[in-house]
Chain A
Amino acid sequence: MQMENLIEIQNVSFSYADRSIISDLSLVIPRGKAVAIMGGSGCGKTTLLNLIGGRISPSKGDVVVDGLSVPTLNTKELFDLRKRMGMLFQTGALLTDLSVFENVAFPIREHTRLPENILRKVVLMKLETVGLRGARELMPSELSGGMARRVALARAIALEPMMIMYDEPFTGLDPISKGVIAKLIRELNEILGITSIIVSHDVVDACAISDYAYLMGDGRIIGQGTPDDVQRSGSEHVRQFMDGLPDGPVPYQYPAGEYLDDLARGS
């Protein structure tokens, strides 16, 4: 029987060089849902994706994906699990020496032995999904930011994964490209049933395509609920983030000594 939750993060902590990035964090991602994880820059969102993908291991707690404890998997088991995960990087992370077609074909060539004529059909179908079948001959350097991310999305769904992790999918895009990416994320979730984890600091766009939202701050969850609940929350932490207030629980000033003392000290 399939578990209801595809991902369970259980009391996870992660530190890097004595600096705590994530502390005692727990959350669940239900199967087939689109879940937004929002928070300011440097709050540990991308680290969370790296923990789910097994690129780093937690110093405490457990990360369970599809019933498998990720930190305990050996390399082969981890790679088998990753074949069922897709990830869209903020930069697209396309291989710059390969054309659009070859980028989408890359994971298929690496993991299957499909004959060339079938592989061609599969790649063209994926590119058609993101509206870029006509751009198959282009090189990554010839693509706009939005197009590069759509190609990366086509590549992420090439092996028909059970889930896709989106790392800041809207950053640096014009409104039209944002709309296209949002539509694609929603369609992949609703039509293909792919569980979606959308990590973003873009409140409006992320909430618009999510079934559930978590708000992160200081490496822990500071708010959660449906996107409407989160947006209406009265919590000081949540309000600062949602309303874009420069000062609040997240201070405007980087921690420093007394201002006047600092000025009086000379050099």
Chain B
Amino acid sequence: MMFGFFADLGRAVLDRVNRLGRASIFFVQVLAASWQLIPRFQLLLQQIYAVGVLTLLIILVAGLFVGMVLGFQGYTTLVRFGAEDSLGLLVALSLVRELGPVVTALLFAGRAGSALTAEIGLMKATEQLAGMEMMAVNPLMRVIAPRLIAGMIAMPILAALFSAIGVLGGHLVGVELLGVDSGSYWSQMRENVDIYDDIFNGVIKSLVFGVACAWIAVFEGYDAVPTSEGVSRATNRTVVYSSLSVLGLDFVLTSLMFGEA
């Protein structure tokens, strides 16, 4: 009984390590194939549209609401100390350092990542990837690389837009609704948000999250069991693994970037 438990545990660990190894080799192979996209830039543009532009609406709406909530919450706390003039700074720092990259990545995994996995998994299940291989076309270059690179490019841009619209949401509530001085809102932000410490680090975060989410999404699709149940499980795994990876990586990156402050 006890022996069986440890055997199962060992097997499960080995399976996961094996899968991580395959995912890493896959990542390197896709990157190695992606230079062939240079003369075929339109493939990349199509995917930037599919994973980036089509995710824009949900990002903008979510960013607006998150900014508005930050405006409310920030105001009710700051006003107790008479520091409501710092609302702009609080909203901006919360967004560019943390909420922008993290919430965008979570939404990206749910909207674009799951779609990527389902699309690639179904292409596998309907033998489209095998068909390409038999036509001497490398599916890693033709199908996977454009989607991976598009995800890596789209994420930082989406996160930047999320933060930008969030700042406007905070302004809408804080200044227009609750009466914070508009000049203070913007000047506090301009004076105290550091281009390197805050914005650049936020961009790095969103770039790392973009790589993680896009990598997980394309690998899960490519590695899916080619049945309807297999594709469904793969899509599910994409959302779960991406979300957990984003939150875990966020802790690591935050510790590295802001740990000594």
In the complex the two chains form, is B136's CB within 8 Å of A87's CB? no
Verify if A136 is at the interface (C-beta below 8 Å from B): no
In the complex the two chains form, is B128's CB within 8 Å of A106's CB? no
Q: Which residues of A contact B142 (CB under 8 A)?
A: 110
CB-nearest residue of chain B to A110: B137
Q: Among B131, B136, B137, B138, which residue has its beta carbon within 8 angstroms of that of A93?
A: B131
* Complex Cα gap A79–B137 (Å): 8
Number of A-B contacts (CB under 8 A): 48
The tally of residues in B whose CB lies under 8 Å from a CB in A reads 13
Verify if B38 is at the interface (C-beta below 8 Å from A): no
Verify if A40 is at the interface (C-beta below 8 Å from B): no
Q: How far is the CB of B44 from chain A (nearest CB, A)?
A: 16
Q: Which residues of A contact B126 (CB under 8 A)?
A: 91, 93, 96
Q: Which residues of A contact B131 (CB under 8 A)?
A: 87, 89, 93-95, 152
In the complex the two chains form, is A80's CB within 8 Å of B127's CB? no
Write out, one digit per residue, whether chain B residues 112-144 have a CB within 8 A of any chain A CB (1) or not (0). 000000000001001110110111111000100
Verify if A232 is at the interface (C-beta below 8 Å from B): no
The tally of residues in A whose CB lies under 8 Å from a CB in B reads 22
* Complex Cα gap A135–B220 (Å): 35
* Complex Cα gap A90–B137 (Å): 19
Q: Which residues of B contact A80 (CB under 8 A)?
A: 136
In the complex the two chains form, is A82's CB within 8 Å of B135's CB? yes
In the complex the two chains form, is B135's CB within 8 Å of A110's CB? yes
CB-nearest residue of chain A to B143: A95
CB-nearest residue of chain B to A81: B136
* Complex Cα gap A91–B226 (Å): 13
CB-nearest residue of chain B to A90: B127
Those of A52-95 within 8 Å (CB) of chain B: 53, 55, 79-80, 82-83, 85, 87, 89-91, 93-95
Q: Among B130, B136, B138, which residue has its beta carbon within 8 angstroms of that of A89?
A: B130
Q: Which residues of A contact B135 (CB under 8 A)?
A: 82-83, 106-107, 110, 155, 159
Verify if A111 is at the interface (C-beta below 8 Å from B): yes
Q: Which residues of A contact B137 (CB under 8 A)?
A: 106-107, 110
* Complex Cα gap A203–B45 (Å): 48
* Complex Cα gap A85–B133 (Å): 11
* Complex Cα gap A80–B136 (Å): 7
Q: Which residues of A contact B130 (CB under 8 A)?
A: 55, 89, 93
In the complex the two chains form, is A85's CB within 8 Å of B128's CB? no
* Complex Cα gap A247–B105 (Å): 58
Q: Among B123, B127, B136, which residue has its beta carbon within 8 angstroms of that of A79?
A: B136
* Complex Cα gap A106–B130 (Å): 14
* Complex Cα gap A83–B123 (Å): 21
Q: How far is the CB of A163 from chain B (nearest CB, A)?
A: 12
Write out, one digit per residue, whether chain A residues 150-161 have a CB within 8 A of any chain B CB (1) or not (0). 001001000100
In the complex the two chains form, is A55's CB within 8 Å of B133's CB? yes
Q: Which residues of B contact A55 (CB under 8 A)?
A: 130, 133-134
Q: Which residues of B contact A93 (CB under 8 A)?
A: 126-128, 130-131
Interchain Cβ contacts under 8 Å between A and B, 7 examples: A83-B136, A85-B134, A89-B131, A96-B123, A110-B136, A110-B142, A155-B135
A-B interface, 5 closest residue pairs, ranked by CB to CB distance from nearest: A93-B131, A93-B127, A82-B136, A79-B136, A87-B134
